[in-house]
Amino acid sequence: DVKVTQSSRYLVKRTGEKVFLECVQDMDHENMFWYRQDPGLGLRLIYFSYDVKMKEKGDIPEGYSVSREKKERFSLILESASTNQTSMYLCASSLGNLGMYEQYFGPGTRLTVT
Amino acid sequence: AQSVTQPDIHITVSEGASLELRCNYSYGATPYLFWYVQSPGQGLQLLLKYFSGDTLVQGIKGFEAEFKRSQSSFNLRKPSVHWSDAAEYFCAVVLPYNTNAGKSTFGDGTTLTVKP
């Protein structure tokens, strides 16, 4: 079974803190994704990566950055956390680059910024 | 503009009743189509997918979906709902041959409540 793990299920941080969310997949997938999920807004793509050290902006990259130094690991960084970044963050991975492969999701990290 | 629409935000059905969740897309070409389910406190799990061929696809947990090109729709169905089907359901599309890592666009989701 494909497994996508996220470093924390729940996280509470203060405004202005630098926050790291870690995601690891164990199936040698090329692609990895970070989404945020908010009630009524569905899933919105923050960043994605199709190879090591490669990244592309998604629909809402402002206030976030990412790092992919190893194929299995994709990190989301909030440089200076703000209250409007309180959300559920989902990581996903998928195989290949032709779009026909489904995404496998981690359980999510619920981040609260106070 | 390209979009995925799930018209129903919330649906309530009785256990044992049939279910249909709607999904419409607006793209120039027929995209790859997916349905995912998210149980409370969990990540998303794939139910089924469609690329080409037979327009009726079978998935896990007794779900099926029908692709209708003329209506740009990919509706999810289940003949008899179980209480454990209560969850949030997402339709997603990927443009074919898109080299952007299979980037998906998700609908806003439909929350299913099952009455005993």
Best of B51, B103, B108 to disrupt the A interface by mutation (most A CBs within 10 Å)? B103
Query: DSSP E strands: which ranges in chain A?
Result: 4-6, 10-13, 19-25, 31-38, 42-51, 54-57, 64-70, 73-78, 87-94, 104-105, 109-113
Minimal-distance CA residue of chain B relative to A99: B102
Q: Does B49 touch chain A (CB under 8 A)?
A: yes
With 80 as the cut, is the pLDDT of residue B5 above it? yes
Coil, helix or strand at residue B62: helix
User: Residue B3: pLDDT band by 50, 70, 90 thresholds?
Assistant: confident
Rounded to an integer, what is the distance from CA A7 to the centroid of its chain? 11
Report CA Rg, chain A. Answer: 13
Give B37's contacts in chain A (Cβ within 8 Å): none
- Distance in Å, alpha carbon of B80 to nearest chain A alpha carbon: 26
Best of A43, A44, A52, A97 to disrupt the B interface by mutation (most B CBs within 10 Å)? A43
Q: Does A106 touch chain B (CB under 8 A)?
A: yes
**pLDDT tens, residue by residue, A67-97:** 999 999 999 999 999 999 999 999 999 987 6
**pLDDT tens, residue by residue, B76-107:** 999 999 999 999 999 999 877 655 656 888 99
**pLDDT tens, residue by residue, B10-57:** 999 999 999 999 999 988 777 899 999 999 888 899 999 998 888 999
